[in-house]
Amino acid sequence: MKKNIPFTGFRAETFRFLRDLEENNYKEWFEAHRTVYETQLLEPFRALISAVSPAMTTIDPAFEMRPHKVLSRIYRDTRFSKDKRPYRTHLWMTFQRSTTHWESFPGYYMSLDTERCEWGMGLFSPVRKIMDQFREAVTQEKESFKEIALEVFEAGYETQGEKYVRPIANDLSDFYQPWLQGKSIYVNKSFPVTDERIYSDALAHSMIEDFSRLAGLYHFMIEAINNE
């Protein structure tokens, strides 16, 4: 496989492969099309990682940057699943601190499937203690957090995350509630695979710009959970 190739975008063949894999999700078909997977999906993903990694290092030098750690595997773990299809039909990349307790740290991500490209940042699977620390930080530093949140919204992001059935009592205004009521909290944005940025190096530039606008929120989360 080629190394150190510049990122020039994904191709129509990338999504054709993923759509075909949805219809032919078995080992024999995948092995017959492995070269397509490597050249149309794996190589551009690795090139994209290389393109955005320097900017991510400026956000947090402790991010895991090894490509095989940043990029998800296409192979599914089917040991405990009723769904025995061996391959994923989407891939994603994550930038997060290297730790065995990954759920205790915020992280950035970008994912790609047959229909859309999506990226964002946040606490995706935190234990209750971590979210309590985040909520306490928002409450205690509500004015500075509001400035950070407004920057996130201005960049086109939306809040996401699983919410508790019973609201968590607090004295803050409605503006803060999407940040306080979740078992998890992250922000994301998405766009269809017809977006022309996906097919050129503009995708890397957009990711770098968008991820940099989340740096304030990222560092707020890191400081809130006492992991600095």
Q: For residue 1, is pLDDT > 50?
A: no
Q: In the chain, how many H helices and how many E strands? A: 10, 5
Q: For residue 2, is pLDDT > 70?
A: no
Chain segment 160-196, per-residue pLDDT in tens: 999 999 999 999 999 999 999 999 999 999 999 999 9
CATH topology of domain 12-224: BirA Bifunctional Protein; domain 2 (3.30.930)
Q: Which helix (H) or strand (E) holds 190?
A: strand 185-192
Strand partners, 120: 109, 188
User: Look-up: residue for tokens 């979210």?
Assistant: 131
Specify the pLDDT at position 3. 59
Whole-model pTM?
Answer: 0.93
Specify the pLDDT at position 219. 98
Q: For residue 154, is pLDDT > 70?
A: yes
User: Which DSSP letter does residue 2 get?
Assistant: -
Whether the CA torsion 106, 112, 113, 116 is positive or negative: it is: positive
User: Which DSSP letter does residue 40 get?
Assistant: I
User: d(Cα 156, Cα 135) in Å, to the nearest integer?
Assistant: 23
Nearest to 135 by CA among 226, 227, 228, 225: 225
Chain segment 81-98, per-residue pLDDT in tens: 888 999 999 999 999 998
Chain segment 27-37, per-residue pLDDT in tens: 999 999 999 99
| Residues 42/93, Cβ–Cβ less than 8 Å | no
| HSE-up (13 A, CA, CB side) for residue 223 | 11
How crowded is residue 82: how many other Cβ atoms within 10 Å of its Cβ?
A: 5
User: d(Cα 148, Cα 76) in Å, to the nearest integer?
Assistant: 37
Nearest to 190 by CA among 226, 151, 158: 158
Q: Work out the average pLDDT over 52-60.
A: 98
Considering only CA atoms, give the Rg of the chain.
19
The lowest-confidence range among 3-7, 52-56, 139-143, 173-177 is: 3-7
Specify the pLDDT at position 228. 47
In the chain, where are the structural domains located? 12-224
Q: Work out the average pLDDT over 12-28.
A: 98
User: d(Cα 24, Cα 93) in Å, to the nearest integer?
Assistant: 24
Specify the pLDDT at position 115. 98
Confidence class of residue 100 from pLDDT cuts 50, 70 and 90?
A: low
Specify the pLDDT at position 27. 96
Specify the pLDDT at position 74. 96
User: d(Cα 51, Cα 129) in Å, to the nearest integer?
Assistant: 35
